[in-house]
Amino acid sequence: MTASASTTQHAPGFDADRMREAIRDNVWLHSTQMAPYFEPEHRPFVLVKGDGSTVWDANGTPYLDLLAGIYSVNAGYGRRRIVEAMAEQAMALPFINPFGYTSVPAATLADRLGDLAPLGGEARVFFTSGGSESVETALKLAKQLQTARGYPHRWKTISRRVAWHGTTIGALSVNGLTSYRSVFGPLVPGARHAPMSHRYRCPYCGDAPACNLMCYDEIERLVEFEGPDQVAAIITEPVQNAGGCIPPGSMDYFRKIRKLCDDTGIVMIMDEVICGFGRLGELFGSTYFGVEPDVITTAKGITSSYAPLGAVLVRKSIADEFINESAPPDLPAPVAAARTEGFMHGLTFGGHPVACAAANANLDIMLEEDLPGRARETGAYLRSELEAALGDHPNVGDIRGAGLFLGVELVADKATKATFRDDGLLEWLSDAMRDRGLIVRNDGRNDPTTQLCPPLVITRDECDRVVATLAETFTELGRRLGTIGTAQATG
């Protein structure tokens, strides 16, 4: 690496050339092809500062962050209160071994989350350091629970196609994205996938006036086929992220899954890594759908991403099944161990005290400022403005979502819903939006969808800017797709 003297006023100590070289030669960006970083004209996008919903790059250029980091900076940037809570805890005691011990902020946080979570009034909380670990933990917990109940053969899981639940092998196994899965097979055996519940593109009732819940029936059929006594858990997101902010077609969808789990002893896991902590307009996404699962996985917004943390919230009656000091002598060894050893799982950094201090301060802010309520109100405003400005656009097929988790699905032909698969075009769209001061994910993992998932503190004025920018860039997109003639195009 060579040193260079160029620094910028907005990022003291930042040396653009050196940073570029370090990224090109040494940093391994997640899920990113590094080849473009070797092109001489390539300049990496380096953010150095944030406040509210705005972030600044090293040149001092501001951007509205419509991705909230990665669906995660829920309370917004520049929250001194969170930073001070972290500093205070780091000074007092930076770390405690979680294998048998806990810290004051972790215990406080567990107590608060136990009261707040929609899990029948009481919960036990297992801390992790992120979303994949939370999903991994929930799956292991369900499997150990079934073993402890005397069913060691109940190890299958059901999740949904296209869904994203993380990248560790267990979480990857319940992921529903073929391209991400195919490289690493064989994955965890018994991970089965049901169709999505996707009203706009539903193969069962897309043309009918309302969802007929056949998507749920497919889950029930899969359980029957796999054998209800062999399925450990069903894991779903309240609003599915991959595929572009997809809520279920009916408000009864999750209630039916709840009943299925009650009838069969399957553990119902809601993956709220994105939908938790205010995103859908409620503190927890399950509440939005009026359902109480058995287990809720969280991460991201739990600290608004000021520190890495995840939490698995478990219905108390289920956690209590792990409390046995002895087992009958004739039990098979794994069943006896599952019953008497507590939850056989642990992570050095799970529930790190500094991260838990951040989470407590974040939760104070969420409750005092009613950030879920703000997500509900601002989300409704943003959605109605999107519908007014873009509802008739020839390339806007669907506007959907909940709270401040909104998706605009883009189509090649509005009448036929014909999609387009063109990563280059989506990349161009993201660049065009960024050139106009917006960071937006144009998700191409299923049918292309522009995702709007800002910090929950975004203002109405900022929403107006977002809508105006989308209108402008979609006009240009229409030109490129041939649905808008150049004479019509004004943007």
Ligand X SMILES: Cc1ncc(COP(=O)(O)O)c(C=O)c1O
- Which stretches of the chain bind ligand X, using CB under 6 A? 130-132, 135, 164-166, 237, 241, 271, 273-274, 299
Closest CB to ligand X among residues 156, 165: 165
Nearer to ligand X, 351 or 394 (CB): 351
Tokens 């992570």 belong to 347
For residue 186, cis peptide bond before it (omega within 30 degrees of 0)? yes
Of 54 and 159, which CB lies nearer to ligand X in the complex structure? 159
Q: Report how far residue 416's alpha carbon sits from residue 200's, in angstroms, rounded to the nearest whole number.
A: 12
Nearer to ligand X (CB atom), residue 29 or residue 87 = 29
Q: How far is the CB of 289 from ligand X (least distance, A)?
A: 15
Are 401 and 387 contacting, i.e. CB atoms less than 8 angstroms apart?
Answer: no
SS3 (DSSP) at 227: coil
> Scanning the structure block, which residue is given the tokens 């079934």?
146
- Cα dihedral sign, 120-126-129-131: negative
Residue 224 corresponds to which tokens in the numbers above?
């029957």
Question: Both tokens of residue 295?
Answer: 């287990």
Q: Tell me the closest approach of the beta carbon of residue 417 to ligand X, in angstroms.
A: 26
Residue closer to ligand X (CB basis): 303 or 430: 303
The residue whose Cβ lies closest to ligand X is 131
Kindly report the number of other CB atoms within 10 A of residue 444's CB atom.
20
Min dist. Cβ of residue 286 to ligand X (A): 13
Report, in Å, the least distance between residue 132 CB and ligand X: 3
Whichever of 132 and 469 has its CB closer to ligand X, that residue is 132
**In sequence order, what are the beta bridge partners of 299?**
none
The least distance separating ligand X from the CB of residue 153, rounded to whole angstroms, comes to: 27
Q: Name the residue type at position 66.
A: L
Task: Please report, for residues 69, 74, 265, 393, the alpha-carbon distance to residue 52 in angstroms, rounded to integers and kept in the order given.
Answer: 12, 10, 44, 31
CA distance 175 to 135: 11
Compute the least distance from the CB of residue 297 to ligand X, in Å: 7
CA 266/CA 254 separation, integer angstroms: 14
Nearer of residues 119 and 274 to ligand X, judged by Cβ: 274
> How far is 396 from 37, CA to CA, in rounded Å?
33
Q: Quote the least distance from Cβ 184 to ligand X, whole Å.
A: 15
Cβ atoms 316, 119 nearer than 8 A: yes
Q: What is the CA radius of gyration of the chain?
A: 23
The residue (of 242 and 432) whose beta carbon lies closer to ligand X is 242
DSSP secondary structure string for all residues of 239-273: SB-TTTSB--SSTTHHHHHHHHHHHHT-EEEEE-T
Q: How far is the CB of 242 from ligand X (least distance, A)?
A: 8
Show the CA angle centred on residue 336, arms to residues 331 and 340, nearest 5°.
145
Residue 101 C-beta: closest distance to ligand X, Å: 24
Q: How far is the CB of 140 from ligand X (least distance, A)?
A: 15
Judged by CB, which is closer to ligand X: 180, or 381? 180
For residue 386, what are its two tokens? Answer: 């999107």
The nearest distance, CB 58 to ligand X, in angstroms, is 25
Q: Of all helices (H) and strands (E), which one includes residue 223?
A: helix 214-226
Measured from the CB atom, the residue of 166 and 176 that comes closer to ligand X is 166
Nearer to ligand X, 103 or 159 (CB): 159
Residue type, 304: S
70 vs 107 by CB, closer to ligand X? 70
Helical (H) or strand (E) element with 137? helix 131-148
CB of 130: closest distance to ligand X in angstroms? 4
Beta partners for 193? 159
Q: What is the rounded distance in angstroms from the CA atom of residue 391 to the CA atom of residue 326? A: 63
Q: Give CA angle at 63 (62, 68), nearest 5°.
A: 135
The helix/strand/coil state of 396 is: strand
Question: Which is nearer to ligand X, 164 or 216 (by Cβ)?
Answer: 164
Least separation in angstroms between residue 400's CB and ligand X is 17
Find the angle CA(128)-CA(456)-CA(31) to the nearest 5 degrees. Answer: 50
